[in-house]
Amino acid sequence: MPKVIIDGFEIEVPAGTTILNAARQIGGDLVPPAMCYYSKLKDSGGKCRTCLVKVTKGSNTDPRPMPKLVASCRTVVADGMEVANITSPEVLDARKGVVEFLLINHPLDCPVCDQAGECDLQDLAFEHGSPKTRYEFERRTFEPIDIGDKIKLHMNRCIMCFRCVFLADQLTPERLHGIMNRGDHAEISTYIEKAVDNDFSGNMIDVCPVGALTDRTFRFTSRVWFTNPVLAHRQCNTCCGKTILWMKGDEVLRVSARTTFYGEVEEFICNTCRFEKKNAADWIMEGPADISRHSVIAQNHSHTMQVLKNGVPQYDDSQKPTPKVKSEIE
């Protein structure tokens, strides 16, 4: 099994593992952020360039460094490979540039967007971007489109990660949407606003890293940080039925699939669970969902309150790998 050193941490991974996945096995700050790569979707990745890393040593047989920064989600590890992510100023600088490019056409409408508070691009820009834009030209704009009666497409916010296209390709028997045009004119489209009405089409809301695809049944009802995420399940014939309910009081405002630490869906859920079952009585509640203490969603303290009710004040960070502080690595 090849051994790879990432930011000074050595790990042995099966052959064929990408640098990104090897870094995720180490965990902590050295994991490159990813906007387009999605471990559940085959062939995803390589589009957004946020996961760029520097390979300082190719392998034991060929120790030359790679000439350019490489996308870690697409580069497979080799034995003896040495990778620099946050220890390389070049990588951090490149990432800042990538964030700036991603934000060129992305509108600053976080106050309006339903994704705000759980948006990958928001987190990425906060951590790696610059506070001001240098872009002076007109941003490309589109009118929001309804694809079906349950999903809203805001093409303005799309960053062309292709996740929803891969999802439609791999999860559903027939693909109803894709990318039209090319380059700067590229856009997600259903071809003459055809409705996407597959049983699993709602999952494209969950895989979308930004607010381009949002739930119309949840549209503008509440900001995510005013809702309480609750783990729940129900007997469902089409999917696993395991979900997170986003509740306000006894009202179920939104249903979404459960996600892993890296924001990837654990198991895809069907549209019946997602859009139709908005009664608390439809669900068997398991308890509060784990939200990172650093997330704005944790501001409503629902998790803490629930835990305190049970008498044991604790934060369950078991899913989260031990964080490595930047100074520790340097």
Partner 1 sequence: MRLTNRYKVVSDKKMTFAEKLYLPAIATGLGITIRHFFKQKVTISYPEVKREYAPVFRGRHVLKRDENGAERCTACGLCALACPAEAITMLAAERKRGEEQLYREEKYAEKYEINMLRCIFCGLCEEACPKEAIFLTDTHVTAEFHRDDFIYGKKQLVEPVDNRIDVSKRGKPSGRL
Min dist CB 117 to partner 1, Å, is: 9
Cα torsion for 305, 248, 152, 274, to the nearest 10°? 80
101 binds partner 1 (CB under 8 A): no
Q: How many CB atoms lie under 10 A from the CB of residue 44?
A: 22
Count of residues engaged in binding partner 1, rule: CB under 8 A: 17
Rounded distance between C-alpha atoms, residue 21 and residue 71, angstroms: 12
Residue 225 makes contact with partner 1 by CB under 8 A: yes
Which is nearer to partner 1, 254 or 258 (by Cβ)?
254
**Residue with smaller CB distance to partner 1, 299 or 319:** 299
The minimum distance between CB 283 and partner 1, in angstroms, equals 24
* Of positions 47, 96, 223, 248, contacts partner 1 by CB under 8 A: 223
Can you say how many angstroms the Cα of residue 139 is from the centroid of all Cα atoms in its chain? 24
| 202 vs 211 by CB, closer to partner 1 | 211
The residue with tokens 């490149």 is 94
Instruction: Please state the length of the chain.
Output: 330
Q: How far is the CB of 114 from partner 1 (least distance, A)?
A: 9
Q: Is 207 in a helix, a strand, or coil? A: helix
Query: Which of 64, 139, 194, 219 touches partner 1 (CB under 8 A)?
Result: 219
What gap in Å lies between CA 248 and CA 272, rounded to an integer?
Answer: 21
The mark string for 142-171 relative to partner 1 (x by CB under 8 A, - otherwise) is --x---------------------------
Q: Which of 157, 166, 47 is nearest to 110 (CA)?
A: 157
Q: Which of 76, 236, 296, 329 binds partner 1 (CB under 8 A)?
A: 296
Give the 3-state secondary structure of residue 44. coil
Tell me how far, at minimum, the Cβ of 113 lies from partner 1, in Å.
9
Q: Which two tokens stand for residue 304?
A: 């803490």
**What's the rounded Cα separation, in Å, for the pair 93 and 83?**
16
Q: If residue 172 lies in a helix (H) or strand (E), which one and from where to where?
A: none
Among residues 68, 192, 220, 310, which is the contact residue for partner 1, using CB under 8 A? 220
Query: Is 68 an interacting residue with respect to partner 1 (CB under 8 A)?
Result: no
Q: Which of 152, 143, 175 is CA-nearest to residue 162?
A: 175
Q: Does 109 bind partner 1 (CB under 8 A)?
A: yes
To partner 1, the closest distance from the beta carbon of 145 in angstroms equals 14
Positions that interact with partner 1 (CB under 8 A): 109-112, 116, 131-132, 144, 219-223, 225-226, 296, 299
